[in-house]
Structure 1
């Protein structure tokens, strides 16, 4: 029991020392970063420049004169971004002495080439009506579906497209059933079938046997 109480006493005695040492180490790594952001060509202060600590949700903006101030840690990377200028980055040295660091950050103009825009005069009423009437309006999905459901288009698709799995299965079953039905006897010839002759004549009139090429 005495040893247990001694351990508690020693822990309470050395705990403030450890906390104080940790606080001193954290305090030594904190840096007050301040400076000014200017244009590289005219040395003009840039307002509203974004000053952000990388990989952290902390940052600030420059004021109207381009001046900023932010608390960072030694070794942090600071990103400077502004519309129309190339982004810049500054790494805070990990071995600087003291708890303050000042910089003058110069921003270079980023040249952006936009595509050419051709401005034309507004067309007259006659020109607008002529262009509107002669405009080639593409078919919508309803019209495309309507054209695909036409009888002639359906026949062309049936002749050109291969059978799917269900059609092949029905075809094989139908052939097998016919073989079983006419097993041991001669199959009837469709040349004497009036229904087959009627379908042949109707197809001939429709032009199904014409060369489509």
Structure 2
């Protein structure tokens, strides 16, 4: 009986407080979050500009437009929004602070940003014979020729291939090849290279190049020091 009386008093008190709570909520300021959406187009031809950056200044937030130039982002009242795209001038809009709705739409027209480069005039040789004469008589400095010769030397390329570490792309490709090889021979024994004629051909070529001799001599030289 006492519990029933307590529940009744609580419900009666809540009914009395509801009008006051409703009045307080109605007087409270509305949420300042605004859903900003719109489309970004060119000012001259009204074509959609995809991948346009939509940045909220000073907030470190933003988005980009889709293929049709449409965007949507949550912002606050009073925020400054900058639209930027390569080849167009930036444009900045400020969200009004006195908005009564929680949505705001924009049609952004970007103006082309034209950069004028200095004129380049291409003048060919008057005749083919003069071009061949100038091409043959072109003097290449000895140092650049020597650098080019060393870069194309087979021994140097093999040394660089053995010394330089693999980059990310090469490492991923090697890992994928190893994984594909395991899947290919899953459930069976992989072939042995001792019975592979291609492996024997590579071994003979390496022997003729002197790869094993160079390694042996380098190890002996390092031991002599």
TM-score, with normalisation over the residues of structure 2? 0.44
Which has the greater radius of gyration?
1
TM-score, with normalisation over the residues of structure 1? 0.47
